Homo-oligomer: A and B are copies of this chain.
Amino acid sequence: MRVLGIDPGLTRCGMGVVEGSVGRPLSLVDVNVLRTSADRPVAERLVTIEKGVDAWIEEHRPDAVAVERVFARSDVSTVMGTAQASGIAMVCAARRGLPIALHTPSEVKAAVSGNGRADKAQVGAMVTRILRLDAMPKPADAADALALAITHIWRGGAQARIDAALAAAGRNRR
């Protein structure tokens, strides 16, 4: 499956596309960071993000979109813009009927590094290793977007196996 991971932000919005399935090597399809200037009105910046996400979905045709779940307890100065950017990203995906999953930063860190409190450098290093890249994706928003996509494939795979097992158990009971 092909997953678009989005690390939402008004100033920098990371977008990473990863392809693969559970138990097989994953591969990087593309990664980018959308930037908008703090000098521009928020509405204009959000439209730029909408266009950028739309263009990426159009170009890469992901099977699902994974967006970082934003918490109100995050840094107050940026949380409103992050929430708005995440809303725009979700709408871009939902309008096309794409499945959307939200993963928390802790879930992503735990999935790629085995440690829910891993730092940016550890996440970046694990993303580099998992996708067999020559260098760590920069800036951190790019690595975080890829980590979201990786998390989605791995968690989705586990969820699919659990669903299949439950369905099989249900059939056996009938």
Interface residues of A (CB under 8 A from B): 41-44, 46-47, 50, 70-73, 76-77, 79-80, 83-88, 90-91, 93-95, 100, 102
Contacts and interface: CB of A to CB of B under 8 A. Distances in A.
Contacts of A73: 76
A34 B43 CA distance: 21
Nearest to A10: B87
Majority-rule SS of A interface residues:
helix
Contacts of A44: 94
A46 B76 contact: no
A91 to B, nearest CB: 5
CB-CB nearest 8 A-B residue pairs? A84-B87, A83-B83, A43-B94, A43-B90, A72-B76, A43-B100, A47-B94, A87-B87
Contacts of A93: 43
Contacts of A86: 84
Given A80-B83, A87-B85, A95 B41 contact: no
A41 B100 contact: yes
Nearest to A83: B83
A87 B49 CA distance: 11
Nearest to A73: B76
A72 B88 CA distance: 18
Nearest to A78: B72
